[in-house]
Amino acid sequence: MATTTTTPPPPAARATTPRGRPTEPAALTGIDGACRALHLPTIRDGITEMLAAAEHEQASYAGFLAETLLAECDDRDDRRRARRIHEAGFPRTKRLEDFDFTANGSVNPATIAVLATGAWVAHGSPVCLIGDSGTGKSHLLIGLGIAAAEAGHRVRYVLASRLVNELAEAEHDRTLTKVIARYGRVDLLCLDLCRGRDYAEDAAARFRTRCAVRASAA
């Protein structure tokens, strides 16, 4: 009795060397696809330079893998810090290292250095910057906020007048609890331009005027 044998089809063709390893172009294509699937943009974009550096330094397999993964981690940390600073809503970038202590002798560099560590944010302690106009209060406030954001804290910057207006409008719209909860989720609220004036009374007056205008328009 005749029997028929069926030969299974060969696996999908892959570009390999005589020893069975992928060729250089095939390996780079595979790395690119894997990095996209695993969301590793730093390795994907810099793999050619990383490979060249590893060959030049004669790095081991383990050393090369460690360098590539650490580069991805470092870049991811940088992106997180940049995102936290962006989400804080600072009007401009002001860093503590750019503050001119010689222009204001009343500001102690040692005190600012301690505040820059962010321990007071972790402890929930408030910090108040008091001084005349032009003495660098906003610079220090933004600088401390940026330092806290880079340290991993959730930060929000807002003008005092704007915050009061926002809370007054939220109370009128019956969304005050929601707005307070949103601010309550941040680790540090940088409240700027807290001048000696009754913001609440001023905001209430403007809000009453706005409501009157809406009523007349209706």
Contact 172, 207 (CB under 8 A): yes
Q: Of 67, 71, 70, 35, whose CA–CA distance to 54 is shortest?
A: 67
The CATH number, out of the four listed (3.30.2130.10, 3.40.50.300, 3.30.70.260, 1.10.600.10), of the domain defined by the range 96-217: 3.40.50.300
Strand 155-159 and strand 188-192: the pairing is: parallel
Q: Of 67, 46, 70, whose CA–CA distance to 57 is shortest?
A: 67
Domain limits of the chain? 24-88, 96-217
Contact 143, 99 (CB under 8 A): yes
User: Phi, psi at residue 16, to the nearest 5°?
Assistant: -135, 165
pLDDT of residue 131: 85
Please write the tens of the pLDDT for every residue from 19-69: 567 788 888 888 889 999 989 999 999 998 998 998 888 889 898 899 999
Q: Of 87, 80, 155, 150, whose CA–CA distance to 117 is shortest?
A: 150
∠ CA 125-131-134, nearest 5°, is: 125
pLDDT of residue 201: 58
| pLDDT for 87 beyond 90 | yes
